[in-house]
Amino acid sequence: MPDEAQCEIRGRDLVTGLPKTVVLSSQEVRVALEEPLNQIVDAIKSTLDKTPPELASDIMDRGIMLAGGGALLHRLDERVRHETEMPVHTAESPLTCVAVGSGKSLEEFDVLHRSARYARSGQNGRRRSYR
């Protein structure tokens, strides 16, 4: 690719134990991330397959919200949109919103517990296959 970006990474050589610097190209990073990205997309599609119809309808209307550090991966939103044919959004503060949401969930632990029991009871339906 023209203008291929490169990044200098410093760390410790696992064989010698000595400090080492390597230069990675964006192509090498893309190759390294390919399988983890496939797993992320597969997990999203698998979750959608198991989602109750009424919730799946809401997701189809409102879209999928990406959060956490992975949400910052270049063009992940486009890939998920293409693979699921649903709207995809990235959270306003993807690095912190997961922690904030987890804290709020703990404040409502009884509601979270009831939701988990409902999900385990097998009362969730299926909408359509996303595979």
Count CB neighbours of 95 within 10 A.
12
CATH classification for the domain delimited by 6-11+18-120, as one of 3.40.50.1000, 3.30.420.40, 3.40.50.460, 3.40.50.1370: 3.30.420.40
Q: Which two tokens stand for residue 71?
A: 């949400």
CA distances in angstroms from 36 to 33, 72, 124, listed in the order given: 5, 14, 28
In tens digits, the chain (131 residues) has pLDDT values of: 567 899 999 999 999 999 999 999 999 999 999 999 999 999 999 999 999 998 999 999 999 999 999 999 999 999 999 999 999 999 999 999 999 988 988 888 888 888 888 777 765 544 445 55
Q: Which two tokens stand for residue 118?
A: 């409902």
pTM comes to: 0.70
